[in-house]
Structure 1
Amino acid sequence: MTPPLPLDGIRIADFTNVYSGPYGTMMLADFGAEVIRVESLQYFPNSTRGTTPRPSQALMSTGSRIVVAYVDGEPGEKPWNRHAMFNCHARNKMSMTVNVRTPEGLEVIKRLVQKSDAVVDNYSAGVMDRMGLSYEVLRGWKPDIVVMQMPAFGLSGPYMKTQAFGIGVEGPCGFTSLRGYTDDVTYQHVPSVVHMDTASGPGSAFALLSALHYRDRTGEGQFIEFPQAENMLQNLGEFFLDAQMNQRPYGPLGNHHPRMAPHNVYPCNAPKSWVAIAVADDAAWQRLCHALGWLTSAMDSRYRTLTGRLEHQDEIDAALAEWTREHTPQEAAQYLQDHQVTAGPVLSVSAAYQDPQLRDRGFFEPLTHPEAGTHEYPGILWKMSHTPAHLRTPPCCLGEHNDYVYRTLLGYTAEEIQSLTEAGHIGDTYVEAQG
C-alpha cells in the first residue's frame, strides 16, 4: 500500500503564471497537495503555456529556443499543451477554466475558495483586487483561508506598481552587476539565468507551508506578502554586507570567485567542451601543482597565497587551459579529483540526462502526456524515507480537470455545467481572439 504523501488533503487554488509561482506550487503538488490551476479561455498567460497560443510560421522560424520548445518542434493543434516552458512545472497539477471577469465566474471561484486551504498568485500588485479577489473578499468567503501574493517588489513603496519578469527585478537588486565577464563592463553578455524565479519557488513554498502550519495550530488563516525581489536579495547577503562594512563594491565576477583562485571553467579537447576547476585554499593549490607537475609554480611566492593567486589568476588560467585542452572534460575532472582537487565536467543539458550519478539515483522520471508524448522529466527535489514522492500525473492540459472540479468538487449540475460551457467558462481551447 502506497503511504500518504505529506501534503495529502491540502488544496490550493493556483493563479500563478510564468515560472516563479508555478515552480513553488509544483513543489507542493509533488508532495501531495491538490493544486488546481485556475485558467481562462479568454486570456492567454504570456510566457507560461508558451509565448503565444498559436505561433505563426514566421515566429517558429526564428529558432529561438524559448519560442520553439514544442515537442519535435511542432506546435500541433493545441500548442499550449505541448510547450516545455509550461510542462516542466505542471506535473502533478490539475487545470480548470473559468472567466473570472464575470459574475458567474466569481461565483465559481467563491465555491472553489470555500473548498480550498490556500490561494496563490504572482500577478503584479493590485491585479487580484481588480478582479474582485482581494484578501478581504477571499477571507469573507472562507475565514481561515491562507492567501499569498507574490508581486515583484511588494505591495508598498515606489516600485509597487512595477511590472517585471525575473531579469527586470535582478537589475535593480544588484544581482546583474555581479554577473557577466570581467572584461564586459557594458554587461552586453550577461546570461539570462533569471535566478529570481528559481529562488522564489522554494521560498514561496516554505512561506505557504509556514502559514498552513500556523492555521492548523490556531485555526487562523492569514495573508502572505511575498516580494520576490526581497526573497532573492537574501541570496546576495555577503555582497551587501561587504559593501556596507568595507565599502567594497563588486563588479562582474565572470567565473572567478572573490575567495578562490584559480576558479574558472577551462576549454577541453573538443569544441564547446569545458571543465570547471576550483581551488579553495593554499593546500589545494599545492595539490593542483603536484598533480600537473608544476613544481616550480608550487614554490613560487607569487602563487603560494590566495592574495597572490588572485593578482595573477589570468596567467594561471592561461596555463591551466593549456593542460585542459589535451583532455576531455571527464578525463580532466577525474584526474584532478583523484588528486583531491575540486573539478567537474561542464555538461550540456542533453549530456546531463545521461549523467551516471543522476541515472543511478533515478532522478529523471518518465511521464506520458496525452499530447506531448512520453518524456523524462526532472524528478523530485528531495527524498523522504517514510513518504517517498514520485511524478504521479503528467503536466495538465488546459481545462483537463473541468469535469472533476465543476461536477465532483463544486457540485454543479449537468445543466449548470452546460450553461457555463456555452457562456465560455468551460473548455480546452483559447478563444480565437487570442490567436
Structure 2
Amino acid sequence: MGALSHIRVLDLSRVLAGPWCAQNLADLGAQVIKVERPGAGDDTRHWGPPFAKDPNGQDTTESAYYISINRNKKSITLDISTPEGQAIVRDLVKTSDVVIENYKVGQLAKYGLDYLSLCAIKPNLIYCSITGFGQSGPYQQRPGYDFILQGMGGFMSITGEADHLPGGGPQKAGVAIVDLFTGMYASSAILAAVIHRDRSGEGQYIDMALLDTQVAMLANISSNYLCSGVSPHRWGNAHPNVVPYQTFQTSDSWIIVAVGNDSQFRNFVKAGNREALADDPRFATNPARIEHRASLIPLLVEMVKEKTKAQWITLLEAAGVPCGPINNLQEVFENEQVIARGIEMHVPHPTAGTMKLVASPMRLSKTPVEVRMPPPLLGQHTDEVLRNELGMSASQINELHQRGIV
C-alpha cells in the first residue's frame, strides 16, 4: 500500500501543472479521479504526434504528452457546466480529501464548485488552486502560460548565450519548468495540508501561482540580486562564480567540466598537458580565474579539442575532476546507470499493449511507488465510479450518457 493510499483526490485540472501534481500524489498511493470533458478530454490528449503505438506499430489515440502526466488515475468524463454534472462533482467531494483545479480565478464559483461552496459540503476539504498569477493582485485575471512566465519571472534573462556571442539572447528551457515546479510545490503544499488536517481536523485553501514559483525557483540567482541590487546576466553554459564550470567541445562531441576548486583545476589542465596554466598567477585561484576568464577559456577550448569525449571522460574521472557527457535521449535510456535504476518502465495498456513510461524518481523503502494503472483512456472509469462511488444504477448512468452529461 502506498504512503497516501488513505487519501482520495478529485483532479479537476488539465494540461500540465495540475496533472503533474496529481500524478505525484497518485504515485505515492493516493486514489485519484480525473474529471475530463466528454468527447474531448484533457487538452494534452491531442498534443501529438507522437502517440503511443499499438502492438502492430500503429498510432493509438494516446499522446505521449498525456501519457507522461496521468498514470495511476481513473478518468471520468463529466460536463461540469450542467447542474447534473455539478451535482456529481459535489457528491464526489463528500468522499474526497483533496480537490485540485487550475481554472481561471473565480470561474468555478459560477458552478458552485469553488472552495467556499465545496468546504460547506466537506469542512475539512483541502482545495488547491493553480493559476498563472494567483488569487490576488492586479494580474489575477490574466491567463498563465509557462513560456510567458519563464520570461516574466526572470528565468530567460539568465538563460541563453551572452548577447555579444553568436546565438546570444534569451532562451527558454527545453521543458516547461514553471508548470513542473509549480506542480511539485503544489504536491508539497498538499502533503503539508494533509498532515495539518490529520492533526487538527482542519482543511484549508492552497493558492499556487506560476509567477510565484518561477521567482522562487531562481534560488541563489534571486538571492544574488536581493543582496547586491545588480541584475545578473546570461552566461550560457558558463558559471558566474566558478571557472572553468561549463561545456567544452571535444574533437568529436561535447563534455561538461565542473571544476570546483584549485586542485581540480590543476588536475584538469595536467590531463590536457597544460599544467603550467595552474602555476600562472592569473589562473592559480578561482577568483583569479574569474577575473581573467576571457584569457583562460580560449586556451582551455583549444586544449579540450585535442581529445575525444571518451578520452576526456576517462582521464578526468581518473583525476577526480567532475565531468560528464551531454547525452541525447537515446543515450540517456541506453545509459547503464539509467538501466540499472529501472527508470524506463513497461506497463500493460488496453490499446497500446505495452506502454513505456518514465518511473517516478521517489524511492521509499517501506511504501514504494508503484504503477497501479497506466494513463487512462478517456472516460475509461466513468461507469465504474458512478456505480461504485455514488451508487447509481445502470439506467441512471445510461441516461447521463444519452444526455451528454458524462
Corresponding residue for residue 37 of structure 1 = 34
More strand by share: 2
Instruction: Give, in whole Å, the separation in 1 of the partners of 2:172 and 2:33.
Output: 36
Choose 170-179 or 227-236, whichever is displaced more.
Answer: 227-236
1:191-246 alpha-carbon deviations (Å, 9 max, x no partner): 44332122112211110111111111111111111122213322223223322332
Contact 1:365 / 1:391 at 8 angstroms: preserved in 2?
no
Q: Where does residue 69 of structure 1 map in the other structure?
A: 50
What's the offset of the Cα at 1:323?
4.2
Q: Judging changes above 3 Å, is the alpha-carbon distance between structure 1 residues 126 and 330 closer, same or farther for their aligned structure 2 residues? A: farther
Give the CA deviation at 1:369: 2.1
User: What is the aligned partner in structure 1 of residue 265 from structure 2?
Assistant: 285
Counterpart in the other structure of 1:223: 205
The equivalent residue for 1:302 is: 282
Counterpart amino acid of residue 9 in structure 2: I
Q: Is residue 329 of structure 2 the alignment partner of residue 332 of structure 1? A: no
The whole-number CA distance in structure 1 between the counterparts of 2:351 and 2:291 is 56
Secondary structure of the residue that 1:207 maps to in structure 2? Answer: helix
Aligned-residue offset at 1:123: 2.5
The aligned amino acid for 1:393 is M
1:18 is aligned to 2:15: yes
Q: Which residue of 2 aligns with 1:61?
A: none
Once the two structures are TM-superposed, the CA of residue 189 in structure 1 deviates from its matched residue by: 4.5
Show CA shifts across 1:126-171 (max 9, x none): 2222333111111122121110101111101011111121121122
Instruction: Work out whether 1:104 is the aligned partner of 2:75.
Output: no
**Conserved in 2, the CA contact under 8 Å of 1:330 and 1:344?**
no
Q: 2:233 aligns with which of 251, 254, 257?
A: 251
Number of paired residues?
403
1:69/1:83 contact within 8 Å kept? yes
**TM-fit CA distance, 1:284:** 1.6
One-letter identity of the residue aligned with 2:150: E
C-alpha spacing 1:50/1:304, structure 2 compared with 1 (3 Å): farther
Residue matched to 1:265: 247
TM-score, scaled relative to structure 1: 0.87
SS at match of 1:224: strand
Write the mapping of 1:353-392 to structure 2, written as runs, cut at 5 A. Answer: 353-392=333-372
CA gap 1:374/1:155 in 2 versus in 1, 3 angstroms: same
Q: What residue is the counterpart of 1:198 in the other structure?
A: 180
The equivalent position to 2:110 in structure 1, one of 117, 123, 130, is: 130
What SS is found at the alignment partner of 2:287?
A: helix
Q: Which amino acid aligns with 1:8?
A: S
Counterpart in 1 of 2:378?
398
Which whole-Å CA distance do the structure 1 matches of 2:57 and 2:129 have between them?
32
Amino acid aligned to 1:254: G
Counterparts of 1:324 and 1:425, CA distance in 2: 64
Tell me if 1:50 matches 2:46. yes
SS at match of 1:277: strand
Match of 2:196 among 191, 214, 220: 214
- Secondary structure of the residue aligned to 2:74 is strand
CA distance in 2, matches of 1:40, 1:144: 27
* TM-score under structure 2 length normalisation: 0.92
Unpaired stretches in structure 1, ≥5 consecutive residues: 52-66, 427-435
**Aligned pair in 2 of structure 1 residues 330, 198: CA closer, same or farther (>3 Å)?**
farther
Contact 2:256 2:324 in 1 (8 A): yes
SS of equivalent to 1:406: helix
**Aligned mates of 1:169, 1:204 — CA distance in 2:** 17
1:274 to 254, 267, 270: 254
1:247 shift after superposition: 2.3
Structure 1 contact 239–250 (Cα < 8 Å) conserved: yes
Alignment equivalent of 1:152, drawn from 128, 132, 140:
132
Distance change in 2, residues 1:221/1:75 (3 Å): farther
The one-letter amino acid paired with 1:16 is S
Contact 1:268 1:274 in 2 (8 A): yes
Aligned partner of residue 239 in structure 2, secondary structure: coil
Aligned-partner SS, 1:374: strand
Give the unaligned 5+ runs of structure 2.
none
Q: 1:173 to 1:189 in 2, by over 3 A?
A: closer
Q: Deviations over 1:267-325 (max 9, x none)?
A: 2344xx32111111222211212222212211111111223322443554444343444
In the alignment, structure 1 residue 178 sits paired with structure 2 residue 174: no
Which string of whole-angstrom CA distances, capped at 9 and with x for unpartnered residues, describes residues 322-377 of structure 1?
34445443442232121011101111111111111121122222112222342432
